[in-house]
Structure 1
Amino acid sequence: MRIHRSILTALLAAVAALPLAASAHTGVDGGMHHGFTTGFLHPLTGADHLAAMVAVGFWSALAARRAWPDLLWAPLAFAGMLLVGALMGLAGVQLPAVEPMIAASLLVLGLLVAARVRLPAVVAMGVVGVFAVFHGVAHGYELASEEGAALTLAGMVSATVLLHVAGIAAGWALRHANAWLPRVAGAAVLGLGAALLAQAI
């Protein structure tokens, strides 16, 4: 029990610190613009993407009525549409308000986590899928003129899946915990989204 509490305390501390972390995107990492490792590490160093990916898994676990397959719908939709968005960005497709939409995704996900909102699977997939496109497009724009984009995208998708799994594990562990624990996590994500939105507009 003490081990579980220590893990949860560390997790909540990390989530609470997200608003203090700097947003980072591929292309500003000291010259390492492509490759599987760079793509894999990117979601782990960008607070906006890390928070969104963990929050999707976290929310899925909190809101799931049953472990299978309810846990998977939203994370799969996010990972799949992230890849679609990245391919759109690589192809030069222009979308408006990319950074504001990334910030808005954190606001919405933070609210969903804090309130433990349950949505039908199709609606949940649609919500996270739309936001994932903007996260993916941001990556695609930055990779459009680089070599090794396919490996970088593979790395990013792999890291995304692992972050979803981490979020699911944390959310599942907190399903029956005190209600304020998920609210703190949701509020931290929401706070990060608000800070990023203020910078983007």
Structure 2
Amino acid sequence: MRIKNGLIATLCLVSPSLYAHTGGHIDHSLISGLLHPLTGIDHLLVLMAVGWIAAKQGGKAVLTFPAIFLALMASGALFNVYAVQIPFVEAFIALSLVAFGLLVTINQKQRAKILFLGVSFFAVFHGYAHAAEIPTDSSALMYFSSLMLMSLVICLSGGLLGLSTGKRMNHLFSLACLSSGLYYLAAV
């Protein structure tokens, strides 16, 4: 029931009624940034996995794992802004789905913590890709700030799902990450 209510609330936040106001109070950059992480299943699944893994760790990890991931995402965006070329971005994003899909299934807290720190470097590729997709008619700062805010919300939502679901949902979510990652790897 809580998951259903959360889904309804999320859908209301991104519903077309947001666009019904004609007074120009909502900046295009803000809306684009908020919606961008919701439009790509690869980014959505990885962000949810970060929260899911953090919830399984508990304690400080609930906030520090998303903070680490988002900070590394921001650094990846800076690489793009300063025209640092990173090869194979899409392949690394696909690999991140596989890595985080596997991490969701690890139950040993210490091992999962070490592995999380190891695979967090994938966040750089996600940030790089997000920065590359900033619309030219948008304020880059507004767009990326709202993108990061929505990314945090998705991470925290993944954490809530990780806390409120059992083993079966863990395995289904892991399977979704793994199969999506393998699909994207085949397409790259």
Alignment TM-score, normalising by the size of structure 1: 0.75
Q: Distance in 1 between matches of 2:117 and 2:64?
A: 6
Please tell me the root mean square deviation across aligned C-alpha atoms, in Å: 2.2
Report percent identity of matched pairs.
33
Matching of residue 44 in structure 1 with residue 38 in structure 2: yes
Matching of residue 188 in structure 1 with residue 176 in structure 2: yes
**1:48–1:111 Cα change, 3 Å:** same
Q: Tell me the alpha carbon deviations over residues 80-129 of structure 1, each in whole angstroms, 9 at most, x when there is no partner.
A: 1111111211111101110000000000000111333533646523422x
The structure richer in helix per residue is 2
Matching of residue 59 in structure 1 with residue 53 in structure 2: yes
Structure 2 residue runs of 5 or longer lacking an equivalent are: 8-27
Q: Distance in 1 between matches of 2:146 and 2:140?
A: 10
Aligned 8 A contact 2:103 2:116 in 1: no
Q: Which amino acid aligns with 1:51?
A: L
Q: Distance in 1 between matches of 2:48 and 2:72?
A: 16
Q: Distance in 2 between matches of 1:151 and 1:91?
A: 18
- Runs (4+) of structure 1 moved beyond 6 Å? none
Structure 1 residue runs of 5 or longer lacking an equivalent are: 12-33
Q: Which amino acid aligns with 1:116?
A: N
Q: Distance in 1 between matches of 2:53 and 2:112?
A: 13
